[in-house]
Structures are given as C-alpha cells and as structure tokens.
Amino acid sequence: MQIGCPKEIKNHEYRVGLTPASVRELTARGHSVLVQTGAGAAIGLLDEHYAAAGATLAPDAATVFAQAEMIVKVKEPQPQECAMLRPGQILYTYLHLAPDPEQTAALVKSGAICIAYETVTGPGGGLPLLAPMSEVAGRMSIQAGAAHLEKSKGGMGVLLGGVPGVAPAHVVILGGGVVGTHALQMAVGMGARVTVLDKNVDRLRQLDLVFGNRIATQYSNVASVEEAVLAADLVIGGVLIPGAAAPKLVSRALIARMKKGAVVVDVAIDQGGCFETSHATTHAEPTFVVDGVVHYCVANMPGAVARTSTFALNNATIGHAVALADKGWRQALKDNPHLRAGLNVAQGHITYEAVARDLGYAYLPPDSLLA
C-alpha cells in the first residue's frame, strides 16, 4: 500500500503522524511511504531521517493526498485537507466529530474511509489510541493551570503548592479517568490540595488506595460538583463519553459564582468541552476570561510538547496502521472488532452511533460495509 504522511497545519501543531521508526516498520513489510518535506522538522525528525527509513519525500500536501491510498495524520483534517480526500481513501487520525458538524459534513462528502484514533477500543476496555495523548494532556493541564494562576497571566496570584505557613491552592479534578489520574499525579506532586470527582465509585476506591489521604474523593453529582467548583482555585475538566459530545458539568451560572482569578482547564474541549462557557482556543491565544475566571481551552494541548507526544502516539497507532496496510481496511476491520470501533465515516455514511445521534445523521452499522 502507498501510505502518506502530510505535515500538520493546525495552529501550533508540530506533531507528525509517522516517526522514521514507524516508516521503517511499514517499508520493511513492503509498503511505500510518502512523507511531506519538513513534516517532522520542528521536533528534530528531519527529512534525511525519513529518507534513511525508506520514505519518499513529497514537496507538498497535495502530492501526498493525490498519491497515497492511506493518509496517516495526528489532528483532524482542516477544510483544505478534507477537500483533497477522495472516495475509498483511508484517513487514519484523530477526528473528534461530535462537536464539529462542518468537518463531519466534509468527510461524508469526500467518500473517504475515516478511522478515528479516539474511538478505537482495547481488549481490556479503554481507548488505547487516545490514552497517550490523554496522559500528556492530563499532566499538562496542571502545568498550564499553575502558570495561569499567576497574576501576570490573569489568575489570582496563588502558588499551586503554597509555602510553609501559607495554604496551597485547591485543585478540583472532574473525572478520574486517564486525564484525571495524570492531572492528579502532577497536582499531588506539586503539593496542591486535591479533590477528584467521578461517578464510578470503584475508580474512586482505586485512586484512594494509591493516593490515600493526599487527596479527597467525592462521588460526582450536581451538588458535589457545585460545592467543589465554588471552593476551587483551579478546576480541571477531564470527562469523556467515547465519540460523543462531552457533558456540560459546569454551567455559566456556576462559573459566575466562582472565585475571581480562578482558572479552569477544559481538557475535554476536543469533544465540545465540559464547561458551558468553553470554546476552543489555540496555543497562540490560549485563554479568555468569563466573569473573572480564566479559561484555558487549547484543543491540541499535547502539540505544545510535540516530540514527546509524537513518539507516545506512534507507539499506540502503528500496530493498527500496519494491519490496515497489510490487509486493506475491510479485512483489517473484519478481523479486529476494536479497530472496527474506530470507523466513524465511510463511503458517505456515519458509522459511529454517538456521532450520528449528536449530529442528526442516519447511523449505518460498520458491519454492513464489511460484507
């Protein structure tokens, strides 16, 4: 198969869909890989590294899209990239379609086979292709939150870990999944006072066993979320419903009652965000203020640590990329129900139920396309 890896064009996005090691994995199996010139240069993955791994260099994205049978990316395709997709071409990348009707319409129109990293499942449950970026984003959320609590960044001027004789900041984490757990590790390590809320009591028990009396755990409901958010200096939103729009756990009215200079970091912004006041921002302009509360809602947070993120992502994605290249998309999806869960759009149809429901499309089960 001819596989293409274009340079990412989203604002301050420096990750790359394939590392030279991933290229070598594919070329060693007889596939050809076309990599856009400079695709990984910003993170030290140079054209000569790709050439040494067996890739052919392409001068521009148009060449990659025109020649490749499968496109491997990181972020969702931008409008000009959607326009270059063609019927039957495989797109393997993050999509986050539920809060993005424009992208969804463009992918439906393209006729391409669109497999979303974020809905591929794992044998033991969970979302293994989303997990590495959730780990990065969870850890980064505390770094970003701590920085924006500084007065010069619009915050209330509080040091996350405090100092002897002065109380630390209170960090509230909504969701005890991958994002929440990694945010928790960072916040505890920096000396903050931490409360984590989740609806899964077994998960709260697990966190309590690991962190003990260094954290407080609370069952998540309307009353407990309100109480915790109003007491917080920093709130991390890390809730996820696979493939669907994130639930709005914090209302505009509740934001208005928060401490002035408090910070919210909405890691769920890729799926629409879990704060009613959230809207996506970029690394160039990462924050905005609503009712005195600083909102950090960067939609590609891991892009700020692009080298770490690229290697972590490739570790998770290359196995399925090899399967798609070796077998073709139909056979690969037939053979692996976990990869099949990643099929969101195919041949002009929505094939992921939560996306169809949230955006008002008819749902076509993936199995019907695999006969």
Residue tagged active-site, from 49, 96, 182, 295: 96
Was 203 annotated as part of a binding site?
Answer: yes
pLDDT of residue 291: 98
Was 159 annotated as part of a binding site?
Answer: no
Structure confidence at residue 329 as a pLDDT band (50, 70, 90): very high
Was 55 annotated as part of a binding site?
Answer: no
pLDDT of residue 11: 85
pLDDT of residue 244: 87
Per-residue pLDDT reduced to its tens digit, 334-367: 999 999 999 999 999 999 999 999 999 999 999 9
For residue 304, what are the CA distances in angstroms to 283, 317, 322? 7, 20, 27
Per-residue pLDDT reduced to its tens digit, 270-328: 999 999 999 999 999 999 999 999 999 999 999 999 999 999 999 999 999 999 999 99
Was 224 annotated as part of a binding site?
Answer: no
Per-residue pLDDT reduced to its tens digit, 2-14: 999 999 999 889 9
Domains, the chain, in order of start with CATH, read 2-111+305-369 (3.40.50.720), 131-299 (3.40.50.720)
Was 269 annotated as part of a binding site?
Answer: yes
Instruction: State whether residue 70 is helix, strand or coil.
Output: strand
pTM of the predicted model, to two decimals?
0.90
Was 10 annotated as part of a binding site?
Answer: no
Look at the alpha carbons of 81, 8, 345, 246 in this order and tell me if their dihedral is positive or negative.
negative
* 175/134 Cα distance (integer angstroms): 12
Was 208 annotated as part of a binding site?
Answer: no
Per-residue pLDDT reduced to its tens digit, 8-60: 999 889 999 999 999 999 999 999 999 999 999 999 999 999 999 999 999 99
The burial of 194, by beta-carbon neighbours within 10 Å (0-12 exposed, 13-18 middle, 19 or more buried), is given as: buried
Instruction: State whether residue 262 is helix, strand or coil.
Output: coil
Instruction: State whether residue 342 is helix, strand or coil.
Output: coil
Q: Nearest-CA neighbor of 36 among 16, 64, 77?
A: 64
Per-residue pLDDT reduced to its tens digit, 212-257: 999 999 999 999 999 999 999 999 999 988 888 899 999 999 999 9
**Buried b vs exposed e over 225-251: b needs ≥16 C-beta within 10 Å?**
bbebbeebbbbbbbbbebbbbbbbbbb
Was 233 annotated as part of a binding site?
Answer: no
Q: Nearest-CA neighbor of 286 among 36, 11, 2?
A: 11
Average pLDDT of the chain is 97
Was 257 annotated as part of a binding site?
Answer: no
For residue 179, what are the CA distances in angstroms to 47, 153, 241? 33, 24, 13
Was 220 annotated as part of a binding site?
Answer: yes
- Catalytic annotation present for 266: no
Residue tagged active-site, from 100, 233, 266, 270: 270
